[in-house]
Structure 1
């Protein structure tokens, strides 16, 4: 891939089974009647009585490193099979039609990018000169090898220069946004992210959230003509 950052295959232990099922009690139940009841409105936005649960599910799925690896420079650099797998998982657990694929992936893309920015702002930038600290994986949802690749990538002088030159969100702004309790604009902020939580069951059933509108291309359209540097 053109902008792939030495992407690695997830460990065998993380690939066994569907790792996200224990995080979401309403996910992968195998009962068709328990699928999340959601649909698309005429504008292509996700609606339905289980809208909040789906928002929670998106937050979990987008932060699972073995499912959607962090060490890609761009979401669009991931293999199509990665997108297909996560979409198939969502479709199997919801009543969404096939036409919802684009808006689902748009939501996951948004959260995935903010998750990377959050990790960088809280765990890399303040400690970028502390190699011992950076050697530790900051969150149980981050794959160890992927974290090492991210740290190596962020440490490149040209990457640090590009981040300043392109005027991306500064670290405090990213940190603040990830901790917003109300929706910020039309973006997805489904819940507060715990710090180094050893209990993976931090996700609450039914967390309120706002799903990204697929038509909001200003923020989360295709990554055309601009390379993400973080």
Structure 2
């Protein structure tokens, strides 16, 4: 993904979108992969936020701005395409959180033991500690 994030200022990857606003083609796949990388960056999408609904609007705006600094949309980026991007960010963020919990949560370990063993190098230690604390809380134990 460094080929996306390391693009010089003013250079873009051109992404075509279909009539429904969905990114298509090879460049569309590159965009969707970039979204997955973006939500794993703790400064943009903190993992200790419990629900995407609680993600600060400022974070979502910053992610969209970063995407627009690397990708040019044809036709022009519409609100419909923005919503598709946000929905993709949300799904990829939730999947990342699920993967982190699958690797890091162990009911046979203490909260401290789990917090000391961060299962993914991309996770911020303080955010992970807060997330583990939630997993071990009574509220975090509720399964819906």
Post-superposition shift, 1:126? 5.6
Q: In the alignment, which residue of structure 1 is the partner of 2:113?
A: 132
Q: CA RMSD in A?
A: 1.9
Output the CA distance in 2 between the equivalents of 1:140 and 1:71. 15
Alpha-carbon spacing, 1:49–1:132, altered in 2? closer, same or farther (3 Å)? closer
**CA deviation profile, 1:135-175 (whole Å, cap 9, x unmatched):** 23222210111000000001012321x22xx1xxxxxxxxx
| 1:3 match | none
> Which has the larger helix fraction?
2
Indicate conservation of the 8 Å contact 2:103/2:119, yes or no.
Answer: no
Aligned length: 140
Quick one: distance in 2 between partners of 1:50 and 1:112?
A: 21
Whether the 8 Å CA contact 1:59–1:111 is kept in 2: the answer is yes
3-state SS in 2 of match to 1:54? helix
Higher strand share: 2
Alignment partner, residue 106 of structure 1: 87
- 1:212: which partner in 2? none
Q: Distance in 1 between matches of 2:65 and 2:7?
A: 15
TM-score, normalised to structure 2, is: 0.86
Residue segments in structure 2 that go unaligned for 5+ positions in a row: none
Instruction: Map 1:3-152 to 2 at 5 A.
Output: 23-32=1-10, 34-96=11-73, 97-99=76-78, 100-125=81-106, 128-129=109-110, 131-152=112-133
Q: Which segments of 5 or more consecutive residues in structure 1 lack a partner in the other structure?
A: 1-22, 167-230
Over residues 20-75 of structure 1, what are the superposed CA-to-partner deviations in whole Å (9 max), with x where a residue is unaligned? xxx5223242254x412213211221113412221221121011112110111111
CA–CA distance in 2 between the matches of 1:131 and 1:73?
A: 20
Show the 5 A alignment for 1:167-186: none
In the other structure, the counterpart of 2:135 is: 154
User: Within 5 Å, which residues of 2 pair with 1:201-220?
Assistant: none
Cα distance between partner residues in 1 of 2:67 and 2:112: 38
Q: Secondary structure, in 3 states, of the residue corresponding to 2:72?
A: coil
User: Which moves more between the two structures, 51-60 or 148-157?
Assistant: 51-60
Runs of 4+ in structure 1 over 6 Å off:
none
8 Å Cα contact 1:70/1:116 also seen in 2? yes
